[in-house]
């Protein structure tokens, strides 16, 4: 039996295991979404605020911003909003950490969107971020989605 062949095989196996571990660490640290997505099990109860029978979400062409107001429900405090904006050419994911409010509060938010680079706006998705068992979670079962946005007609922001 050739002992050098077995040692080389063991060393090669260790190198492969090390490379897999290093790749997994780099992916988990740098390429995962900023917040874990999960079903919260209870309804968050948040919604886009309705003003004068219209939902308060629009696109401000001058400022190149998607503007919205959401009302939070009674069960969870809102720790932030995870927004996904899909244009015809690109999709952007944004974590709005400043969008915090307590139970039954409201949040006004802005999301940058430039149709010249991303293409025509196709979809906006908003996920609430709440704390469940000491971990921030984006609740996928409370997704708010809009396909078409009207232009903003007022500039109170």
Q: Are residues 47 and 113 in the same domain?
A: yes
**pLDDT of 146 over the 90 cut:** yes
Q: Are residues 3 and 61 in the same domain?
A: no
Q: Which domain holds residue 121?
A: 36-151
Q: What is the mean pLDDT of the chain?
A: 84
**pLDDT of 65 over the 70 cut:** yes
Q: Which two tokens stand for residue 136?
A: 């921030």
Comparing CA positions, the residue from 21, 37, 25 lying closest to residue 136 is 37
| Total domain count, the chain | 2
Q: Are residues 64 and 110 in the same domain?
A: yes
Please check whether residue 117 is in contact with residue 153, taking contact to mean a CB–CB distance below 8 angstroms. no
Kindly state whether residue 156 falls inside one of the protein's structural domains. Answer: no
Residue carrying the six token digits 């994911």: 93
**pLDDT of 110 over the 90 cut:** yes
CATH number at residue 59: 2.60.40.1940
Q: What percent of the chain has pLDDT over 70?
A: 85
The DSSP code sequence of 95-136 is: EETT--B-TT-EEEEEEE--HHHH-SEEEEEEEEEEEETTEE
């Amino acid at each position: 039996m050739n002992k050098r062949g077995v040692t080389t095989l063991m060393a090669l196996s260790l190198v492969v295991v090390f490379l897999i571990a290093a790749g997994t660490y780099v992916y988990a640290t740098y390429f995962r979404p900023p917040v874990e997505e999960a079903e919260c099990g209870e309804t968050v109860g948040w919604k886009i605020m309705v003003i004068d029978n219209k939902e308060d979400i629009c696109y401000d062409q001058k400022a190149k911003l998607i503007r919205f107001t959401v009302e939070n429900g009674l069960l969870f405090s809102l720790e932030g909003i995870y927004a996904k904006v899909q244009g015809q050419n690109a999709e952007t994911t944004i974590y709005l950490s400043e969008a915090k409010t307590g139970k039954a509060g409201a949040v006004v938010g802005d999301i940058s969107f430039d149709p010249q680079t991303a293409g025509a706006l196709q979809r906006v998705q908003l996920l609430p971020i709440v704390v469940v068992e000491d971990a921030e979670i984006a609740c996928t079962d409370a997704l708010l989605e809009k396909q078409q946005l009207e232009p903003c007609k007022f500039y109170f922001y």
